[in-house]
Structure 1
């Protein structure tokens, strides 16, 4: 028999009428249908406070549910800071930081200026052949099977393989990195801390190797770059690489899961994409809009009022960007996938100065995956009896997705 979680005490300055004990980690409706569950919270609340902690070393958070409020917070880094919210280094007694996501202006701007060209559409175009080849190979390897566990057999290893390519690391490290990713992002306690140390040690070893043997990869680029006239330290290079690992793997895996679950449930839409592959890029944008997976965090740097509520300095904010994408005030029939929608404006990659630096890479990965599956493999559907469940707070993710070919 499952017991109800004990509701933590909210800080005394939070008005009682704004407290909603919603727990990203244990809410049953969220587990069954996370996006509709979040939509239901918007129906009753423009903003509310949940005393349940979110993330490593977290505390209770304000949750904002409307697109205009979420945008306002994300576009004001002076009032709502990003720095210090991802304490991976602190968990192992160190003080490096994830770059650039865990930096605030002006340092954040300096590192974005350095990194933006590396992740520009032009730069990512040079990765396109590798991405297409990898997606095609991994899809073709499943062709002899009657069924597949999509998350473990495709959605997880596929972006890891691209990450290894980007950092100039050997593909035979894939299983090792998948295990590390799982323990850092989906575990806690000793297993999580051990995995953080493993990744830290591995990346430091690669950084030292690039200082001796320069290559044509992201690690080498960072090692031999400068910010404000100074070479990057090993901690700064490691922070960039660690961020690429954290930010570029789980989000793509999770996004692929929801996109493919939708198409497995909607055979007519899947068939349209098979019949006309030119629809795939637009379909990706619409699926990104409806199935956004990221809830980003901020910390208030001063007392401020937003959405009619008083936020105190030091308060934490959770911003489910899926709620911005699915806000009916901005998009008619916002919870429905419409492959013919004229404008699929969405917030899947965030807003403001911290907008996802890897958005162009992610789009290419998603497009290549869907193209490979609709050309290399038969029609797929959910396996009989499958009831996929979700978990996660920072990134919503399917725990499994059993598919069968027909």
Structure 2
């Protein structure tokens, strides 16, 4: 972490999600916010209220009647009801949410996730093989981002050659889109057209191994309330939520281990500690800040909100609250009690949490086995993205080429 800055004087009434200091190190700002302005407000980028205490974030997440999930975006205009991007069930409120979630849950069971582990492991090994004899790589671009894309493509039942296209769409929607709404809209149009066409092709072919798309089409035949638009929205959700969040989490874990050699060497020496370490790294570097919309006049931490106002839930801020976690701003890779909010809470708790954990474990296991010693290549060799998903966009790491001799797989 960098030396803690003083918050700008107007931060409580005009915070900036894209302030370079905030993007690089929001954790230090949250410490001061809890003491000075635990709920801030801004009219930038479409306007939002920003709480940073665990109790406020948890209360909002548990109250879908007052805080609707219909708009998840952290930036951009808040659309009127009915005109928002629909990605059921995460953008749905009760009662629609419950049935939509039940449709997806069987597609994310532990046996289904275990069946994907070999695919993730082979992909991780291939990516490290591709480093060749180089001693500096961009681990975000050349490693972290590719493993979730490969796994999600297989889950959706789409051609492997389309993985690069998916990768680009996710970048447009979640990394470029928060500042450039036109780019975001272009990505949404392209993704929607792709899945609409895929649904038509798979319905015609009736293929049995069509992944999530075919599974939902089968459910549609017996569930008249499930529409093609619902299936497109669910596929869009799996794509964007299943790729960028996990890729960002993998990158954050590698950044931590590159900058904390004691933790890295503990995991190399004791791989059995990895599951506990992953939970702690998820707690400390939770990538998601998600939006909710007030359904009626209300208040959060004494800050008044009108119906239609947006509130942001930075789950990492809740995870760093000292009133909820002992030594909250320290990363303790052997922390035993760890009820973090990284996968959300309430009715919208992430259904892909086991998938994310599997991908993280595979990625870190393969990396540490093949590249046990590494560090940042230089002071400026990491840049972070912000808004809805925070993670390294660039992560240049240096290591000894000899470490790439991984032996038998």
Classify the TM-score, shorter chain.
0.7 to 0.9
Q: Does 2:36 correspond to 1:47?
A: no
Q: Are residues 110 and 390 of structure 1, via their aligned partners in 2, closer, same or farther at CA, if it must alter by over 3 Å? A: same
Q: Are residues 94 and 300 of structure 1, via their aligned partners in 2, closer, same or farther at CA, if it must alter by over 3 Å? A: closer
Which residue of structure 1 lines up, in the alignment, with residue 141 of structure 2? 152
Q: Structure 1 length as normaliser, TM-score? A: 0.88
Match of 1:75 among 41, 58, 62: 62
Is the 8 Å Cα contact of residues 35 and 291 (structure 1) preserved in structure 2? no
Q: Are residues 316 and 227 of structure 1, via their aligned partners in 2, closer, same or farther at CA, if it must alter by over 3 Å? A: farther
CA distance in 2, matches of 1:191, 1:82: 23
Q: Are residues 201 and 278 of structure 1, via their aligned partners in 2, closer, same or farther at CA, if it must alter by over 3 Å? A: same
CA distance in 2, matches of 1:99, 1:313: 22
Which residue of structure 1 lines up, in the alignment, with residue 282 of structure 2? 288
Deviation at 1:74, TM superposition (A): 0.3
Q: Are residues 254 and 96 of structure 1, via their aligned partners in 2, closer, same or farther at CA, if it must alter by over 3 Å? A: closer
Matches within 5 A, 1:98-247: 98-142=87-131, 144-187=133-176, 188-213=180-205, 214-216=207-209, 217-226=211-220, 229-230=223-224, 232-247=226-241
Q: Structure 2 length as normaliser, TM-score? A: 0.87
User: How many pairs were matched up?
Assistant: 383
Match of 2:327 among 319, 333, 340: 333
Is the 8 Å Cα contact of residues 34 and 390 (structure 1) preserved in structure 2? no
- Deviation larger for 175-184 or 259-268: 175-184
Which residue of structure 1 lines up, in the alignment, with residue 399 of structure 2? 405
Which residue of structure 2 lines up, in the alignment, with residue 14 of structure 1? none
Is the 8 Å Cα contact of residues 32 and 388 (structure 1) preserved in structure 2? no
Deviation at 1:150, TM superposition (A): 0.9
Is the 8 Å Cα contact of residues 71 and 84 (structure 2) preserved in structure 1? no
Is the 8 Å Cα contact of residues 12 and 39 (structure 2) preserved in structure 1? no
* Deviation sequence 1:102-126 (CA, Å, 0-9, x none): 1111001111111112112233222
Which residue of structure 2 lines up, in the alignment, with residue 32 of structure 1? 24
Q: Are residues 170 and 236 of structure 1, via their aligned partners in 2, closer, same or farther at CA, if it must alter by over 3 Å? A: same
* Deviation sequence 1:291-322 (CA, Å, 0-9, x none): 11111111111223442333322221111111
Match of 2:346 among 339, 349, 352: 352
SS across alignment from 1:400: strand
Which residue of structure 1 lines up, in the alignment, with residue 404 of structure 2? none
Is the 8 Å Cα contact of residues 96 and 235 (structure 1) preserved in structure 2? no
Alignment gaps of 5+ in structure 2:
1-9, 401-409
Q: Are residues 48 and 193 of structure 1, via their aligned partners in 2, closer, same or farther at CA, if it must alter by over 3 Å? A: closer
Q: Are residues 72 and 385 of structure 1, via their aligned partners in 2, closer, same or farther at CA, if it must alter by over 3 Å? A: closer
Is the 8 Å Cα contact of residues 33 and 389 (structure 1) preserved in structure 2? no
CA distance in 1, matches of 2:121, 2:146: 14
Q: Does 2:14 correspond to 1:21?
A: yes
Q: Does 2:313 correspond to 1:319?
A: yes
Deviation at 1:224, TM superposition (A): 1.2
CA distance in 1, matches of 2:217, 2:84: 19
Runs of 4+ in 1 over 6 A off after TM superposition: 93-96
CA distance in 1, matches of 2:26, 2:183: 26
CA distance in 2, matches of 1:128, 1:134: 10
CA distance in 2, matches of 1:208, 1:315: 38
CA distance in 1, matches of 2:336, 2:376: 29
CA distance in 2, matches of 1:392, 1:157: 20
Deviation at 1:288, TM superposition (A): 0.5
CA distance in 1, matches of 2:278, 2:84: 38
Deviation at 1:100, TM superposition (A): 1.1
* Deviation sequence 1:219-256 (CA, Å, 0-9, x none): 10111114994163221110010111111111111111
- Deviation larger for 65-74 or 306-315: 306-315
